Amino acid sequence: MTGNDSDPEPASEDSRLVSLTERLDRAEAAEAKRTDVKAGPETDANYKLGNRVLAELLGGIGGGALVGWTIDHFAGTEPWGLLAVLFLGVAVAFRNIFRIANIRPSKPD
């Protein structure tokens, strides 16, 4: 083997690859920052509050429909008992949601 071989030097990198690697690192860091989950006590409290509001709404609708259907089934007043108690259940659910929304959060000491 002679010393005139024209093999590229393995230590030198293409500048485009270096630039691409740097851009990928910056993009990964930005994505990690964007999707970072900041779970704290306030996040947990908000999650619980959202679940409570959803339960009130679904409970009002489901409970009203069930009670209304039962009244209609035994009294033979289809569909008026169902409609009346369903709307009453929705109204009660919204009243409860408004009450939940108006509760002032406690101040930390």
- Token reading at 90: 């929705």
Is the model's pLDDT at 10 over the cut of 70?
no
This model's pTM is above 0.75: no
Compute CA distances 22 → 11, 17, 26, 33, whole Å. 18, 9, 6, 17
Is 87 a member of any domain? yes
How many structural domains compose the chain? 1
Is 86 a member of any domain? yes
The pLDDT value recorded for residue 75 is 94
- Identify the domain containing residue 81 by its residue range: 57-101
Is the model's pLDDT at 27 over the cut of 70?
yes
The pLDDT value recorded for residue 54 is 95
The pLDDT value recorded for residue 33 is 84
Question: Which span out of 7-16, 31-40, 52-61 was modeled with the highest average pLDDT?
Answer: 52-61
The residue among 4 and 59 whose pLDDT is bigger is 59
Is 76 a member of any domain? yes
Mean pLDDT of 99-109: 78
Is 4 a member of any domain? no
The pLDDT value recorded for residue 83 is 95
Mean pLDDT of 31-42: 75
DSSP string, 38-85: ---HHHHHHHHHHHHHHHHHHHHHHHHHHHHHHHHHHH--TTHHHHHH
Q: Side chain identity at 78, as an amino acid letter? A: E
Is 73 a member of any domain? yes
The pLDDT value recorded for residue 39 is 63
The pLDDT value recorded for residue 44 is 80
